[in-house]
Amino acid sequence: TRTPVTVTVTGAAGQIGYALLFRIASGQLLGADVPVRLRLLEIPQAVKAAEGTAMELDDCAFPLVSGIDIHDDAVKAFEGANVALLVGARPRTKGMERGDLLEANGGIFKPQGEAINAGAADDIKVLVVGNPANTNALIARSHAPDVPAERFTAMTRLDHNRALAQLSKKAGVSVSEIRRMTIWGNHSATQYPDVFHAEIAGKNAAETVNDQSWLENDFIPTVAKRGAAIIEARGASSAASAASAAIDHVHTWVNGTAEGDWTSMAVVSDGSYGVPEGLISSFPVTTKDGEWSIVQGLEIDAFSRTRIDASVNELSEERDAVRKLGLI
């Protein structure tokens, strides 16, 4: 039998955590033959709720679960972790300035980066879901100097999946016929969902749809503002689709992208496509044998360039702000 993979989930008692843990435990994160050891991290006030979730996980009698531990101490929670899903974050509350939000999250992601550096397994892979995800990942990464920078990633897979869904509806095709969708930049309203390199049934998607006005006035804002539309409709946030995207992100990272396709992940920039080195920005990436690489050589037209630059500039500003606060 295989040795269990240790998966640490922070914010385990939250909405996303509740949608995520059962899917990890059922084998959807890593594979139906991979046993998992779950470590749940919560703040002290939420430990009891995490215990309740763990009781339900017990009651599912998942054969792949080899153990569940609950912690309120990051050092213990990340000890031996192979995969870390950083979901818990400080939400923006009314009247909160961006600086306050970044500072509050620095207080969470700095110690978590340190704890990952100190005790995670050598093959640790980190996905940051908690917002502002890209910059939280940057903070964690900068406090984990012994962990290769490419192990810290942030989630834009939900945006990617939302873009697939919108394009499939517009073109009247199944999502399985669409390849090479890309989200560029920040997981925020400035993100740029790019269909100019996407394909529908092997043909260029932008040319197939041939509707620039839909692209600019419908597709891009719909994808970027989908989270708010879901809160408006459900009266609660898009926790289940966020959890589903987190599962997809890690599953693709570990198991690889399909031949001829790619995915979107926010990863540390090597300067590709003019994105300043060191920023954690979303790119088109392929994955193989547990490693990602940025797709090279795509032509970026003036329309795409403006959109990418706007989102990347926002990431630079966030980096400057956390630098000023001494968080990186």
Instruction: Please state the residue numbers annotated as binding site for substrate.
Output: 92, 98, 131, 162
Stretch that binds ligand NDP, among 29-37, 89-97, 204-212, 300-308 (CB under 6 A): 89-97
- Closest contact distance (angstroms) between CB of 47 and ligand NDP is 9
Please state the residue numbers annotated as binding site.
Answer: 11-17, 92, 98, 105, 112, 129-131, 162
Q: What is the dihedral of CA 115, 121, 125, 131, to 10 degrees?
A: -20
Contact letters for ligand NDP, residues 148-187 (x by CB under 6 A): ----------x-----------------------------
Q: What is the dihedral of CA 266, 271, 274, 279, to 10 degrees?
A: 40
Selected binder of ligand NDP within 6, 8, 17, 195 (CB under 6 A)? 17
What is the phi-psi region of residue 199: left when phi exceeds 0, alpha when psi lies from -120 to 50, beta otherwise? beta
Selected binder of ligand NDP within 8, 53, 82, 131 (CB under 6 A)? 131
Selected binder of ligand NDP within 64, 129, 181, 198 (CB under 6 A)? 129
Nearer to ligand NDP, 71 or 179 (CB): 71
Cβ-closest residue to ligand NDP? Answer: 14
Residue corresponding to tokens 């979303």: 282
Angle value at C-alpha 142, between 137 and 144, nearest 5 degrees:
95
Of 123, 147, 149, residue with least CA distance to 138: 149
Q: Cα separation of 312 and 327, whole Å?
A: 20
Selected binder of ligand NDP within 6, 10, 188, 222 (CB under 6 A)? 10
254-313 residues in contact with ligand NDP (CB under 6 A) are none
Q: Cα separation of 242 and 154, whole Å?
A: 12
Nearer to ligand NDP, 104 or 171 (CB): 104
Size, binding site for ligand NDP by CB under 6 A: 26
Contact letters for ligand NDP, residues 36-55 (x by CB under 6 A): -----xxx--x---------
Of 78, 82, 47, residue with least CA distance to 143: 78
Verify whether residue 160 is a known catalytic residue: no
Nearer to ligand NDP, 115 or 268 (CB): 115
Greatest alpha-carbon span in the chain: 55
Stretch that binds ligand NDP, among 137-145, 160-168, 235-243, 290-298 (CB under 6 A): 235-243
Which one is catalytic: 143, 160, 187, 249? 187
Q: Cα separation of 142 and 135, whole Å?
A: 11
DSSP 8-state secondary structure symbol assigned to residue 40: E
- Closest contact distance (angstroms) between CB of 63 and ligand NDP is 27
- DSSP-H helix ranges across the chain: 15-25, 47-59, 74-77, 98-119, 133-142, 157-171, 205-209, 212-214, 220-224, 226-234, 239-255, 302-324
Stretch that binds ligand NDP, among 56-64, 129-137, 193-201, 312-320 (CB under 6 A): 129-137
How far is CA 223 from its chain centroid? 16
What is the phi-psi region of residue 326: left when phi exceeds 0, alpha when psi lies from -120 to 50, beta otherwise? left
Token couple for 117: 């550096």
Q: What DSSP string runs through 222-268?
A: HHHTHHHHHHHHHSS--HHHHHHHHHHHHHHHHH-PPTT--EEEEEE
Nearer to ligand NDP, 37 or 71 (CB): 71
Nearer to ligand NDP, 9 or 308 (CB): 9
Nearer to ligand NDP, 41 or 275 (CB): 41
What residues line the site for ligand NDP (CB under 6 A)?
10-11, 13-17, 41-43, 46, 87-91, 108, 129-131, 158, 227, 237-239, 242
Q: Which residues are catalytic?
A: 187
